[in-house]
Amino acid sequence: MEMKPKDAEVCSQGSTASGCSSKESLSVGSSIPSNKFRRGGILPTAVCLSKAAIGAGVLSVAAHGAEVGAVYQMVCLILGGLLTLASIRMIANASLETGCWSYEDICEELFHPAMSLFTGFINVCNCLGSAAGYLIVCGQVFQVIFQADDRARSIFVVLVGVFVCGPLALAKHVGFMRHLAAISVGALLLLVASVVWYWAKHGIDESVDVESFLLPGSGATVFTYMNSINNMVFAYNNQFNVPQLTGELTPAPSVHKMTKVALLSTSLCFLLYGSVSIFGVLAFGVGDNQKDTLILDLMPARKEWHVVLSLFAVMFSVLTCFQFHVYPIRQFSAYAVRKLRGLPAKAAEEEEVTGDGCCGRSLARWLDIACALGSVAVAILIAVVVTSLRTILDFIGAFASAYISYVVPPLWILALRRKGKDFSWLAPEILFSLALLSLGVFFFVFGTYSAIKAA
Q: Where are the domains of the chain?
A: 39-344+356-388
- Domain 39-344+356-388, CATH number (from 3.30.365.10, 1.10.3720.10, 1.20.1730.10, 1.10.10.10): 1.20.1730.10
Cα–Cα distance, 186 to 182 (Å, whole number) = 6
Q: For position 239, what pLDDT does the model report?
A: 94
Which residues of the chain fall below pLDDT 50? 1-17, 22-31
Which amino acid is present at 385?
V
Torsion of CA 108, 376, 14, 183, to 10 degrees: -130
Cα–Cα distance, 244 to 264 (Å, whole number) = 18
Cα–Cα distance, 236 to 162 (Å, whole number) = 27
Q: For position 7, what pLDDT does the model report?
A: 35
Whole-angstrom Cα Rg for the chain: 22
358: left (phi over 0), alpha (psi -120 to 50) or beta: beta
Q: For position 6, what pLDDT does the model report?
A: 36
Cα–Cα distance, 243 to 404 (Å, whole number) = 12
Nearest partner of 412 among 127, 22, 86, judged by Cα: 86
Q: For position 411, what pLDDT does the model report?
A: 97
- DSSP letter at 161? I
Cα–Cα distance, 444 to 289 (Å, whole number) = 30
Q: For position 5, what pLDDT does the model report?
A: 39
Q: For position 309, what pLDDT does the model report?
A: 94
Rounded to two decimals, the pTM is 0.85
Which amino acid is present at 346?
K
129 contacts 56 by C-beta, under 8 angstroms: no
The three-state secondary structure class of 69 is coil
Nearest partner of 57 among 272, 340, 324, judged by Cα: 272
Cα–Cα distance, 249 to 10 (Å, whole number) = 11
Q: For position 23, what pLDDT does the model report?
A: 40
CA atoms within 13 A on the CB side of 151: 0
